[in-house]
Amino acid sequence: MNDLSLRNAILDELQFQPAIDAEGIHVKVQGDVVKLEGRVHLWRQRQIAERAAWSVPGVKEVIDHILLA
């Protein structure tokens, strides 16, 4: 899976998470490494976003730089 396909799969997975505002999360992919950035309101939302990224096949590392706002 190329970087764009992996990024789109993660964004799709984030859209299925009603507990978070996926528009506030930015996803960067380089190879099999995913970097999450942005802001959420609750620690739980940050965890949900990270789990969503891990759930996509091909992801080997998730770097979570999501801030609590």
56: nearest Cα among 29, 38, 18, 37: 29
Q: What CATH number does residue 36 fall under?
A: 3.30.1340.30
pLDDT digits (tens, 9 = 90+) for 34-54: 999 999 999 999 999 999 999
User: What is the residue range of 23's domain?
Assistant: 3-68
Task: Tell me what percent of the residues of the chain surpass a pLDDT of 70.
Answer: 100
Q: What CA–CA distance (Å, rounded) separates 32 from 58?
A: 6
C-alpha span between 17 and 57 (Å, rounded)? 17
Is 90 exceeded by the pLDDT of residue 69? no
Share of the chain above pLDDT 90, in %: 91
Q: Residue 57: pLDDT above 90? A: yes
- Structurally, the chain folds into a number of domains equal to 1
Please check the confidence at residue 1 and state whether its pLDDT lies above 90.
no
CA–CA gap between residue 40 and residue 33 (Å, rounded): 21
